[in-house]
Amino acid sequence: MPIEVLPNNPNANYLAHKDEIESAIARVLKSGRYILGQEVESFENEFASYVGVRFGVGVGSGTEALHLALRACGIGENDEVITVSHTAVATVAAIQLCGAAPVLVDIDMDTYTINTKQVEQAITKKTKAIIPVHLYGHPAGMKKIAEIANKYNLKIIEDCAQSHGAIYKSNKTGALGDIAAFSFYPTKNLGAIGDGGIVVTDNQELAEQVRLLREYGWRQRYISEIPGLNSRLDELQAAILRVKLRYLDKENSKRQALASAYNEKLSSSNLILPVCNSDFTHVYHQYVVRSSRRDALREYLQKNGIGTLIHYPVPVHQQPAYRESLRCAPSMENTERAVKEIISLPIYPELKPEMAIHVADAIMEWEKNKGI
**Domain locations in the chain?**
10-245, 248-370
41, 43, 193, 236, 322 from 32: Cα distances, Å: 16, 18, 20, 11, 44
The vertex-94 CA angle with 329 and 74, nearest 5°, equals 95
pLDDT at 258: 98
**Does the reported pTM lie above 0.95?**
yes
The vertex-168 CA angle with 166 and 172, nearest 5°, equals: 50
DSSP 354: H
User: Given this model, what pLDDT does residue 17 score?
Assistant: 98
CA distance 257 to 272: 19
The reported pLDDT for the residue numbered 140 is 97
Q: Which CATH class is domain 10-245?
A: alpha beta
Closest of 163, 88, 86 to residue 338, by C-alpha: 86
- Mean pLDDT by 10-residue block, N- to C-terminus, for the chain (372 residues)? 92 98 98 97 98 98 98 97 98 97 97 97 98 98 98 98 97 98 98 98 98 96 96 98 98 98 97 92 98 97 97 97 89 97 98 97 94 52
Which contiguous run of DSSP H or E holds residue 266? helix 248-266
Distance CA 172, CA 174 (A): 6
End-to-end CA distance of the chain: 24
Query: For the chain, percent helix, then strand, then coil, each to nearest 5?
Result: 40, 20, 40
| 248-370: CATH topology | Aspartate Aminotransferase, domain 1 (3.90.1150)
